Structure 1
Amino acid sequence: MFIEQAFKAKTDWWRYLIGMIIVFIAWQIIGGLPLMAAIILEMGPEIFTMTESSDMMKVLQTLDSNVAFFLLLLMFAVGLGALLLVIRLLHQQPLVEATTSRKKVDWGRFFFGFGIIAVFTIVATIIDYNLRPEDFLWNFDLVPFLILAAIAVIMVPLQTSFEEYLFRGYLMQGLGIMAGNKWFPLIVTSVLFGSLHLWNPEVEKLGYVIMIYYIGTGLLLGIMTLMDEGLELALGFHFGNNLIGALLITADWTAFQTHSILKDVSEPTAGFDIIVPVLIVYPIFLFLMAKTYRWTNWKERLFGRVTRPESINYSEEI
């Protein structure tokens, strides 16, 4: 009932249009002002002549990586604040109903989602490091790393929560109500989530084939949300993926340049490394979650109709 409970809020189509405009302005314009100010102070007016994403990456690399990391994440934090206000004030929906179909947030699910990806990422990195030590440099520097860790622990959950509440919460519920089914919001939010990463330097480095990974990840998170009737697993999983990734390993061609423990200096290729997570690893994650939380009725939860439950009183005066 995760999508259906949004009927208790105000769900007029124009509210979603206005809400998305407000969120976009807060996220990309207001949230981006500190980063733009820092770049202008560093580079001067020539910044306005740069159009390629590779040029922008070079500009970001002129800033201290911890400063750039913080300012990038600050954009998402501002966006999250705006999104939560839109949900609460414009749609008059309690935050818990934008988070889960349960009466309260299940933090056990959050930490399960966090743990499953954190353990996998750490183990996979250790194995990769031992198989290909020549592809990694020891990048650890205590003081910058501790600053990075402090920034990451505070700011990364704001970044990942913004993306989850926007795509798997706000838009999943809104599109589900408008379309009257569950498969449409699942597909659309997955594609939109993948498209959000189009301007990442990884796309320029590896090509558009990496969009399989980004859209596949969006699909994974969307399936988690619909099958589990809430955002908790997706919130924890996304946070764990980005936090451990930021602290553990970096590379010159990735979106987040950090003072991580390791630096990957290998030449990346778009092929097997992209297909394996989507077609093999992700289904294993879903299998483990399904067994843990006893998911059933997959067809209905992923492809069923979205209708107004009779137990909900629908009123424009809510």
Structure 2
Amino acid sequence: MMFFEKSARGNNRLWTYLVTIILVILFSQLLGALPLGIVVAASKIAGNVAESSNLLDPVALGIDQNLFLFLMIIPFVLGLLGLWIGITSIHKKKPIHVLTGRNKFDWNRIFFAALIWGIIFLVAAFASYLNDPASYEFQFHPVKFIILLLIAALFIPFQTSLEEVFFRGYLMQGIFLIFKNKWVPLIITSVIFGFMHFSNPEVKEFGAAIMIPQYILLGLMFGILVIMDDGLELALGVHAINNIFGALFITNKSSALQTPALFKTNAVDPKFELIVLCFAIVLFILVISRKYKWGSWKTVFSKINYSPVTE
């Protein structure tokens, strides 16, 4: 499992992690949030803001939905830049060392994972539709949808890539250096990933008890993909297509992504969604494990003997 063996390369002193994390926060939450803050402030001055239970509702803020989505992604783009600076200039690592255990980044794995999860996503969405078809409203606006398609395809991968590289790459490797095993980094990063979404409007609407486990479950799946496949490629593909399709096809009043999607639903059953998600994850892992001929699941709990490398 070269992915975790590569974690020892470069400078891994505690201060390097602290400085890099601060860089990511500054680039994403300070610099990255400025454009959206300016636009929201301008909208408030113009008197275009209406009351809404969803703080991420662009309509209530008087902002075009596509523009709002683009502005929301800017912090992730800059956060990814901050992370890249930290990895290369502070840790003195090559980006490939945090991305995969392979000698070269495997783009085919990204596309295959996106294809399989995309199919599962559409089937799961159809199952949700059949569960309550009366709650779905078709809302196709050609110009808005084409713009949405471009923004989603070109920029949402920046958002998902930051989360994957930071949590499943950077943090998993860093925590591995402390505990010398893979299951502890898997649990810790998945729980942090789950609670990172605590401020999402879905959590406020449906409650943390039902929503946070869904995010943690997704984090566990992404982490297992990294451990079993020795790299981030599969997780990057799944996460990207999941959020792209979420932006393009279905939205609801409590969604974190308020977009001119093809369908809008007025009723969401989080318990049903959790059940569907569990089936989706199991099906996806079955397909992927056969495709890439994964070894024993004991890999998740096995220890790695490695020699520190300063390259």
- State the TM-score, normalizing by the size of structure 1: 0.91
> SS where residue 40 of structure 1 aligns?
helix
Q: After TM superposition, list the pairs within 5 Å mapping 1:115-134 onto structure 2.
A: 115-130=115-130, 132-134=132-134
Residue of structure 2 in register with 1:303 after alignment? 301
Contact 1:4 1:177 in 2 (8 A): no
Identity of aligned residues (%): 37
Contact 2:99 2:165 in 1 (8 A): yes
Paired with 1:222 and 1:58, the residues of 2 have a C-alpha distance of 31
Paired with 2:203 and 2:94, the residues of 1 have a C-alpha distance of 37
Q: After TM superposition, list the pairs within 5 Å mapping 1:1-318 onto structure 2.
A: 1-44=2-45, 54=53, 56-58=55-57, 61-62=60-61, 63-130=63-130, 132-208=132-208, 209-266=210-267, 268-278=268-278, 280-299=279-298, 301-309=299-307, 314-315=309-310, 318=311
The letter for the 2-side match of 1:238 is H
Contact 2:54 2:253 in 1 (8 A): no
The letter for the 2-side match of 1:97 is H
| 1:119-165 CA distance string (max 9 Å, x none) | 11122323443563311111110000011111111110100000000
Contact 2:100 2:233 in 1 (8 A): yes
CA displacement at 1:277 relative to structure 2? 1.4
CA displacement at 1:240 relative to structure 2? 0.8
Paired with 1:218 and 1:60, the residues of 2 have a C-alpha distance of 30
CA change 1:137–1:101 in 2 (3 A) is same
Runs of 5+ consecutive residues of structure 2 not aligned to the other structure: none
Contact 1:207 1:270 in 2 (8 A): no
Paired with 1:128 and 1:58, the residues of 2 have a C-alpha distance of 23
CA displacement at 1:169 relative to structure 2? 0.4
Contact 1:10 1:91 in 2 (8 A): yes
CA displacement at 1:59 relative to structure 2? 6.2
Contact 2:16 2:90 in 1 (8 A): yes
Contact 1:35 1:71 in 2 (8 A): yes
CA displacement at 1:53 relative to structure 2? 9.2
> SS where residue 3 of structure 1 aligns?
helix
The letter for the 2-side match of 1:168 is R
Contact 2:120 2:280 in 1 (8 A): no
Paired with 2:272 and 2:156, the residues of 1 have a C-alpha distance of 28
CA change 1:156–1:9 in 2 (3 A) is same
CA change 1:184–1:60 in 2 (3 A) is farther
CA displacement at 1:10 relative to structure 2? 1.4
Runs of 5+ consecutive residues of structure 1 not aligned to the other structure: none
Contact 1:53 1:199 in 2 (8 A): no
Higher mean displacement: 52-61 or 238-247: 52-61
CA displacement at 1:83 relative to structure 2? 0.7
> SS where residue 137 of structure 1 aligns?
strand
CA displacement at 1:60 relative to structure 2? 6.4
| 1:97-130 CA distance string (max 9 Å, x none) | 1111111011111111101111111223234435
Paired with 1:303 and 1:77, the residues of 2 have a C-alpha distance of 34
Contact 1:43 1:59 in 2 (8 A): no
Paired with 1:199 and 1:223, the residues of 2 have a C-alpha distance of 25
> SS where residue 286 of structure 1 aligns?
helix
| 1:197-227 CA distance string (max 9 Å, x none) | 1110000111012111000000000000000
Task: Give the paired residue count.
Answer: 307
> SS where residue 306 of structure 2 aligns?
coil
CA displacement at 1:270 relative to structure 2? 3.2
- State the TM-score, normalizing by the size of structure 2: 0.93
